[in-house]
Amino acid sequence: MATTTTNQWLNLNKIQDDNVLIWLEVFLNDRKAQGFSAGTMHFYRTKLSMFAKFCESKVITHITQITTSDLRDYMLLLEEQGHNQGGRHGCYRTVKTFLYWWEQEVEPLGWSNPIRKVKPPKLNVEPLEPANLDDIRAMIETCDKSFSGLRDRAIMLALLDSGARAKEFLNIMVKDYNQYSGETLIRKGKGGKTRTLFFGKTTRRAVRAYLNIRQDNSDFLWVTTNGEELNYFGLREIIRRRARKADIKKPSIHSFRRAFAINMLRAGVDVFSLQKLMGHADLQVLRRYLAQTTDDIAQAHRIGSPVDNAFYRILL
């Protein structure tokens, strides 16, 4: 469906009411016009399709017919259907975004947004486990001086050293990587945002060794043995193969990003700088990456103890 503005939709279809299905499509077109990623659009379309089916089952054809009770029934139905906490929370967020968007777009007189009285489903935010540094070291030790060995070593070090998401990592272009400073431009991060990440000295040496052995003309930083752009499945296979050679359980690609986060925090990096490096919109999301142990918290107390630091000399 071609992208159109809301006014064009209204003129083309002579819409004079608040038909749910029509406005759902208008909302999706609005998101698309704003340049939301394909993944985000798929998420919105999937979740809104579920909500549209629910409305159809309740014979709800207009937005102003939706009540607080309907929305609560929808949440209960999702639970009965076996959707997990994350799935139900995603459905809630999507409907909330849609209803608030419609309210702002139309400014309906005398209408009270029913989502305001509906609390989101409870979401237990468990810390995400990072990749184990000893495991990563064991995987790196399986790499020889061949092309694949040098490339795989550079990839694993770069994943750990940058905290990049897999898609961002694979989209890095050679021209966007500074071999001397390690500064690397991410042109299209999550949400289409641009940011800068960095590779340290050890990683830069590994990347340089890999680039020196390359004989292809690809514009991408990470390539296959045939000189073609490395995709997600190829990256996952590299991690799987190295884990098998090291005789360890395969870590997920994303667990390298978690390992970056927790080890940066342990090294004393402040959470606001870490938030920017990881490309998070807020600190709430970052919290799931920081699976601190009791030792981490004990160390934090040793560093900041007000009694030990402020009263030490007085009490002596």
What's residue 9's pLDDT? 44
What's residue 267's pLDDT? 80
Q: Which domains does the chain have, with CATH numbers?
A: 6-117 (1.10.150.130), 133-302 (1.10.443.10)
Could you list the pLDDT tens digit for every one of the 316 residues in the chain?
444 455 544 444 434 488 999 999 999 999 999 888 788 899 999 999 999 999 999 999 999 999 999 999 999 999 999 998 889 999 999 999 999 999 999 988 889 999 999 999 887 666 667 899 999 999 999 999 999 999 999 999 999 999 898 999 999 999 999 999 999 998 876 666 788 889 999 999 999 999 999 999 999 999 999 999 999 999 999 999 999 999 999 999 999 998 888 888 878 787 788 888 888 766 665 666 665 555 655 665 565 555 556 555 445 5
Look up residue 225 and give its two tokens: 């043995």
What's residue 156's pLDDT? 96
d(CA 128, CA 125): 9
d(CA 303, CA 294): 14
Handedness of CA 102, 108, 111, 116 (dihedral sign): positive
d(CA 305, CA 302): 6
How distant is the alpha carbon of residue 271 from its chain centre? 17
Backbone dihedral region for residue 46 (phi beyond 0: left; psi -120 to 50: alpha; all else: beta): alpha
Three-state SS annotation for 15-51: CCCCEHHHHHHHHHHHHHHCCCCHHHHHHHHHHHHHH
Contacts with 237 (C-beta within 8 Å, 6 or more apart), sequence order: none
DSSP E strand stretches across 70-141 = none
In the block, tokens 């995400």 appear at 128
d(CA 20, CA 43): 18
Look up residue 91 and give its two tokens: 């459905």
Using DSSP, state whether 284 is helix, strand or coil. helix
What's residue 16's pLDDT? 46
In the block, tokens 């979401």 appear at 123
